[in-house]
Amino acid sequence: MSQMAVTFNQVSHYFDELRALNDLSFSLPGGKLMALLGHNGAGKSTLIKMILGLLDPCQGEVSVLGQTQNPASKAASTDIGYLPENISFYDKLTGHEVLSYFAALKGVSARAVAPLLEEFGLAYAQHKAVKGYSKGMKQRLGFAQAILARPRLLLLDEPTVGLDPQASQFIYHKLKQLTDQGCTAIVCTHELQLVEPQLDLALVLGRGKRLAFGTLDELVLNCGLGVHMAHPALAGLVATHPLLQSFYRDGDLICPVSQREVLMKYLTLECQLFDVKVTLPDLAQVYHAKMAQMQVMSELGLSLTSGEL
């Protein structure tokens, strides 16, 4: 089993009466990319601050890279790289000066700066003041700052917001390279379509609680949504195969994810249908289903448990 990069064990954090995180547990293995998802105010930033050691758990334990995290351990750990949302720099500095400043702060050789600027496509602008940089250029600079000290854990808060598709692709391509080399990444984002192909695991938070955690397959399996199966011959087959009737809706078959394989077997063996188009719920559908379940529970006055909904 790979070593855990981050473990939350029954962690709660309160701001006065408000429980920003509520009995949260999960374990993130090293070298994985975890998407951190949730509505505004769900507790994502609170979770990130706890990993950074900026906030202490009121209950439970947070362990990061094998060490119990607490405010005493926050002192500029070069093992953790952080790209905050809407990063801003002292904008009279040039890109080169910004990275050189962070290199000195993190005890990294100044020689690392130029190759990084080159790799991040900023070499041409390295001697220009950051105030003249576009949003995408600033984000690249921020990302370069985050990985300057070759961290073992990267925390990225909305890294692709406002970026064009090419710039977003660059960020995820670089993240893939880093996770392949063993770096662990947590990406907090509302851009579900962008992160979906990239994630190894996702953690969905709702009102400070864990609504779901796992691989995309696991999330899909547990979300309660159906798999759609489409084929032009289905309408005719339903008449002759009564078993299909209970799954038939608006021209498609819709079945629980857990029954997909049995139904596919039936379609191929009993109906000789071999080219059925199967559509699984995507991350956005899973996310919205979890949010809707949370809303229903709340309207029913049922409190959420610490497990999955």
Ligand X SMILES: Nc1ncnc2c1ncn2[C@@H]1O[C@H](COP(=O)(O)OP(=O)(O)OP(=O)(O)O)[C@@H](O)[C@H]1O
Residues that bind ligand X (CB under 6 A): 15, 18, 20, 38, 40-46
Nearer Cβ to ligand X (41/214): 41
Burial class (CB in 10 A: 0-12, 13-18, 19+), 128: middle
Q: Minimum distance between the CB of residue 206 and ligand X, rounded to whole angstroms? A: 10
Shortest distance, position 39 Cβ to ligand X, whole Å: 7
Of 44 and 152, which has the nearer Cβ to ligand X? 44
Distance in angstroms between the alpha carbons of the first and the last residue of the chain = 27
Q: If residue 289 lies in a helix (H) or strand (E), which one and from where to where?
A: helix 283-299
DSSP secondary structure of 27-55:
EEETT-EEEEEE-TTSSHHHHHHHHTTSS
Our CB check for ligand X shows the closer of 46 and 168 to be: 46
Rounded to the nearest 10 degrees, how much is the dihedral formed by the CA atoms of 145, 147, 151, 152?
A: 140
Q: What is the smallest separation between the CB atom of 128 and ligand X, expressed in angstroms? A: 31
Phi and psi of 43, rounded to 5°? 120, 10
Triad 19, 20, 24: Cα angle to 5°: 90
Contact in structure between 84 and 154 (CB atoms under 8 Å): no
Burial class (CB in 10 A: 0-12, 13-18, 19+), 165: exposed
User: The tokens of 278 are what?
Assistant: 């199967």
- Of the two residues 59 and 78, which places its CB atom closer to ligand X in the complex? 59
Closest CB to ligand X among residues 28, 203: 203
Name the residue nearer to ligand X (CB basis): 19 or 96: 19
